[in-house]
Every structure is written in C-alpha cells, then in structure tokens.
Structure 1
Amino acid sequence: MTAPADPLKAHRRLSVAPMMDWTDRHCRAFHRTLTKQALLYSEMVTAPAVIHGDPERLLGFDTVEHPVALQIGGSEPEQLARAAGIGADLGYDEINLNVGCPSDRVQSGRFGACLMREPELVAECMTAIREAVSVPATVKCRIGVDDQDPEQSLFALVDACAAVGVEVFVVHARKAWLKGLSPKENRDIPPLDYALVRRLKRERPHLSISINGGIGTLDEAGAHLDSSDGVALDGVMMGRAAYHEPALLGLADQRLFGATTAEVDAFEAVARYRPYLAARLEEGVSLSAMTRHMLGLMHARPGARAFRRILTVEAIRPGAGLEVVDRALDAVREAEARRERVDQAA
C-alpha cells in the first residue's frame, strides 16, 4: 500500500523513545496525561513475538495513548510484514523498525544496531513493511556501529531506505559499539554527533529527520528544532529524561507545540491518571505496575523522596489501591506547606 502524507508530522516535534521495560502501556497512559501532542512509542517487540505471542499482553494499549507507535525488531521481511500488519490492525498509528538496539540478544537475532551494516537488507524489510500497512513505516537507527565511518554508514542506511519510499527517520546520534560496551554503556560512552544528524537533514531536506540521544531538557529540545543555522530538524526524541522527570512533558505542549492550554502540573497529571488506575485495578492489574512509572513525577519538589518511598514500598502490598497514591500526594503537599511556612518566617 502507498502511505498518505505523514499524519503524524506535527506530533513528531517531540516523541518519547521506546525503552525496554519502561514504555509499557501503563507508562504511555501516564505520559499521555501530561502531553496531548507528543508521539509515544511502545517497547520494542520482536516480529516473532508479535506473530506468535499473546497480543493483549505484548501489544494491548488504551485509546487514550494515541498517537502511539509500535516498534518492532527483526530482519526477515516476511515476518516483519506480518508483524506490521498485526500492529496496524490493532490500531497503532505508526510502525517503526529498530535498527539501533545494541543488546547481545538483539545481535544474536541479527537485528537492531547490527543492521547498520546491512542497509540493503533494511531496505528490503522496509519495503515489506510499507506494502503491509497504510500507516507510516519509519526507521530508528544509530549513526553507525563499531569501526564504521558514520558519514558513510548513516547516509548509506538512510539513502537505501529512502529509495524504497521511507520518509521518516529517528537518528540516535551515537555509534553503537557492539564489541566491548554493554547496552548501558552504549547509551552514554560513544560520543554524540549532533552535527552529523543536522548535516543529514541539510543534505536530505525532503526527509523527516528526528534526533535522539543525550537530550535532557525542553530547552535542549527546542535548540534542536531551531533553524537559526538554516536547518530545522523535524523532531526530537527524548528517552531517559522524559521517564525520570516526566513533569517536563507537562510543559511540552506549550513550549514545543505552541498550545494555548495551561501547562499540566504534577498533581493535575495524577488526577487525570486516576481513572485509568481505577479501571486497571478493577481488572486485577497491580498498583505497582502502574505507579512505578510515576516515581520521578515530583523530582526536585519538597516531599519527592517521601513520594517515591510510599509508592515504592506500599504499592507492592497485596490489595494496594488508590489510597496509596493519595498518601504519596499528601506527603508532597505537607512538605510544600512546611517549606512555605519556613520561607514566610525567614
């Protein structure tokens, strides 16, 4: 099928990265309480798991999450096409191919970052995916792996995929060192090369290029979207910063999307999340499975430590319910009130 003009173009200004064990359906529902505009991504799911696994457990999502993308991993075009079709039929707004994960498990399966060495195979995979779905089919990649020259490897991968009709790329602006570095080290140690990603956009202006890697604040995100040097990237993808300090997402719609609605305060976000929590608790989901994604919400606020402790310790207890969330919020309110009284007395 031929994909229409990118329906997610506006949402790509900010996206939350796919992160294993983190961006599950509960995390995404929580993040959506903070931002209506940002594009959310699933955890990476392998194509065989999509095809043969439990679809509700692996792929289920709530309608509140839209727009939401499914990231899949693999290197067999037929499998990827089937997996993409399943994801699109379930209602995902985008299918994204992982060409960036550096884990040992990914390498042994011949997908993820090691595919940077096989641009023509990636192009074959993307051809199969695009033919299977009508939603955008996109690529998330690194700038290279191991001893590759990023100026060659990145352009080779992007050009091969663009030649078969792929128009949207998310580039993690680091190499992946598959030999010698752990997946965790690969998130920090290889140097960032933002200039190369900007050069890619400058030389391929017809493509949508989003940048990922090391972006910790909305000010930094805004700088990447700035066109003062004649190049405006199409989007910024944030990962760990958005997860560990989710309150920044509550500021994003105004600051990056130009929304006229009010910024979403942490307390308002919890109020919005509450109906989702209640509904899932009724279905038998444990409170801790949902509140673990909230631990950084009160970052840098008085009472943040107590908030985290209550959610961490009490939410895992059998039968824990919304009263635990209320106690955690009360701890913050009390700490803020104490701080205010001290400030007034000073």
Structure 2
Amino acid sequence: MHKTAVNHLPNTTTRFYQMIDFKDNKRISLAPMIDWTTADFRYFARLFNRYIHLYTDMISTSAILKGDTEYILRYDNSEHPVVLQLGGSNPNDMAQCVQIADKMGYDEFNINVGCPSDRVQHNKIGACLMAEPKLVADMVRAMKDSTDKPVTVKHRIGIDTFDSYEFMRDFVGTVADAGCTHFIAHARIAWLNGLSPKENREIPPLRYDDIYRLKTEFPHLFIEINGGVDNLDDIKTHLTHVDGVMIGRAFYHNPMLMGACNELWGEAIPTHREILENLYPYLEKRAEQGANLATLTRHYLGLFQGLTGARKWRQDLSGKRNLTVDDIKQAGESVLSQNGL
C-alpha cells in the first residue's frame, strides 16, 4: 500500500500572499454536512460573510424525485451563492434533479463522491464512486446538458488500497474530460470498510501535497482543498497553492471563523450583536411558520465560541421542548453583557 506522511503547511511569506488577486480568482466554501448545513444554518452562516459559497447538505436524488421537493430544496434568497450537493449514481436522475433545482435558482450543482458512510454505499453514492470514474463522467455530462450553471465534483484523494496520487489524478482526468472544471478534494483517503464517517475524518493522514500537485498538473482546473483547516492563517497558506478552501466543522462549531474570512475581501468582521440582531427576524418568521425553535437553534450553539458565557448560551438553547425568540434574546444579551459587547 502506498504510504504518505502527514503534510505540514509550508511557511509562506505575507508578501507572497498579498500578491494573490483573491476577489477574482479565489474562493472559500462552507462544506456540505448531512443534517448540519440545513437551510436554517445556511441563513445563519450568511450573516457572517457575504462571499462564502454555501453548500446544502447532501440531498439524494430519490428524496428530490419522490419526496416533498419544494420543502427539501427550500432556501432563503440571502443564501446566494448557494450550491446544491446531490447524492446519486444514475445520470438521468441527476439530470432531472438539476432541472428542478435550476428552476428554483440554485447557483451551482455538486456531485458527492466523498461521503464514506456505509448508509449510502449500497445506493452507490459517495466515495465509492471514485472506483467508477466513467460513471461520474456520465453524470457530469448529463447534468451539464441540463443546465448552464457550473457542475462540480467533491471527492477524496483515494479509497481503501487505491490510495496513490496517480489514482486520484486519473479519476480527475477522466471526469475533467467530460467537462467538469472544478474539483473539491478532501485531503484524506476514505476507508469504505472498517472506519466510521467520523474516523474517516480523523484517522487517515492529511495529504495536502497531493492536492497541490494536482493543481500543478491541471493548472486549467479550479482546485479547492478540504480537510483539517480550522484557522485563517492556514486558509491563507493553502490559497498560495490552490484556488479555494472548503471548511466544514470548523465553520459550524466556530462560525466567527467565517466572519474572520472577511479579511480576505478587505471587509470588517461582523460583531456578535450584529449577528443576533439580524438573526432575530428570521427566527420570528420561522416561529410563525410553525418551526420548533428549540430544534432549530442547535445550529447556533457555536456563536459565542471562546467567550465568557458560551457554555451558558449552549445550555439555555439546548434540551428544551419549547423555546421562544424572547428566550433566545435573553440568553444572547446575557453573554453580550458579560463580554462588554
């Protein structure tokens, strides 16, 4: 089996980073996360940063074609640019879903070729598709024939014993020949048997150099890196090697990191008070729609990460059957006052 050591980010001078034309050529994305990047979290995420591309959690083609399509694909207009990530393996089904979502105004469409969960493998969804690059290419062609919007692929650097750089390179080359020009690479292989999805995010070593090399060998492709990134300095360093950085759990658990990314566009970081004041009208609207705020606010527990009172904020919003907007306001004001915000 091919072995590669864990990457360490190289030292990069500030001067070199400042040479990057970020607004035109670089990108930051919120990663798709099942049950986490829901419409309610994406609205919240947009309050921190107006540039980041927001991905839905993975939505299967069967859910869209057989379920409550409008509810499943709902989003707020403030979410743009918003990307629909699809889970499926039938080119015709993928094309039908794109046609439906295109009419609803989604900005991009992404194919999930990265999820290692055994729950989706039996439907031939996720990372197992890396073993079938021609099928992924067929899906890309079918989707591109159904929309003028970008069609992208999110994948791993390998699966099981197919973990060499050359395996990933050949996968990308085959899919690129079908017209895909944007790839998001999670910098770990996926073990499809023996590791849980959580373990697949932690145990296989990060191999950032493989993705840097991919960009070098495919300079015409837009290459975005994913996996293990949790601070602004590392984001900046990656952007000296690739075209974009995708972040999942670090953005979810510490959403102010999305705010900190405003520095990349030369804009100010929103304050915690501004976030709350812009969130309250949305919560009031959702409450009027019949949403259970006690369930919805699980997405907002990380707002005060690192501040005095953050634990009490989480306690006030968790484990309750009923929660009102006034309850949330009271909890928020308590943390703001403790920190002089």
Same fold (TM over 0.5): yes
| Counterpart among 130, 133, 136 of residue 116 in structure 1 | 130
Q: Which residue of 2 aligns with 1:325?
A: 328
- Is the Cα contact below 8 Å between 2:25 and 2:243 reproduced in 1? no
Q: Distance in 1 between matches of 2:205 and 2:310?
A: 32
Distance 1:100 1:237, change over 3 A: same
**Percent of aligned positions with the same letter in both sequences?**
45
SS in 2 for 1:280: helix
| Counterpart among 187, 196, 199 of residue 213 in structure 2 | 199
Q: Which residue of 1 aligns with 2:92?
A: 78
Q: Distance in 2 between matches of 1:10 and 1:86?
A: 30
- Structure 2 residue 63 is the aligned partner of structure 1 residue 44: no
| Counterpart among 231, 255, 267 of residue 217 in structure 1 | 231
| Counterpart among 250, 262, 266 of residue 259 in structure 1 | 266
Q: Which residue of 2 aligns with 1:245?
A: 254
Q: Which residue of 2 aligns with 1:272?
A: 278
User: Following TM superposition, where does structure 1 have runs of at least 4 consecutive aligned residues deviating by more than 6 angstroms?
Assistant: none
- Is the Cα contact below 8 Å between 1:12 and 1:39 reproduced in 2? no
- Structure 2 residue 310 is the aligned partner of structure 1 residue 296: no
SS in 2 for 1:34: coil
- Structure 2 residue 150 is the aligned partner of structure 1 residue 143: no
- Structure 2 residue 24 is the aligned partner of structure 1 residue 13: no
Q: Which residue of 1 aligns with 2:5?
A: none
Greater helix content: 1
Calculate the TM-score normalised by the size of structure 1.
0.89
Cα deviation code 1:115-163 (max 9, x no counterpart) = 1111111101111111111110000000110000331221111111110
The amino acid of 1:266's aligned partner reads H
Distance 1:46 1:12, change over 3 A: farther
| Counterpart among 73, 78, 88 of residue 64 in structure 1 | 78
The amino acid of 1:251's aligned partner reads A
- Is the Cα contact below 8 Å between 1:216 and 1:241 reproduced in 2? yes
- Is the Cα contact below 8 Å between 1:84 and 1:129 reproduced in 2? yes
Between 206-215 and 278-287, the greater mean CA deviation after superposition: 278-287
Q: Distance in 2 between matches of 1:149 and 1:284?
A: 48
Q: Distance in 2 between matches of 1:289 and 1:12?
A: 35
The alignment's C-alpha RMSD in Å is 1.5
Q: Distance in 1 between matches of 2:223 and 2:339?
A: 42
**Runs of 5+ unmatched residues, structure 1:** 1-8, 227-231, 341-346
Alignment length (residue pairs):
319
Q: Distance in 2 between matches of 1:12 and 1:83?
A: 28
Q: Distance in 1 between matches of 2:257 and 2:135?
A: 38
SS in 1 for 2:55: strand
Calculate the TM-score normalised by the size of structure 2.
0.90
SS in 2 for 1:273: helix
Distance 1:93 1:156, change over 3 A: same
Cα deviation code 1:237-282 (max 9, x no counterpart) = 000000000011112122x2x233x211222111111111111111
- Structure 2 residue 293 is the aligned partner of structure 1 residue 284: no
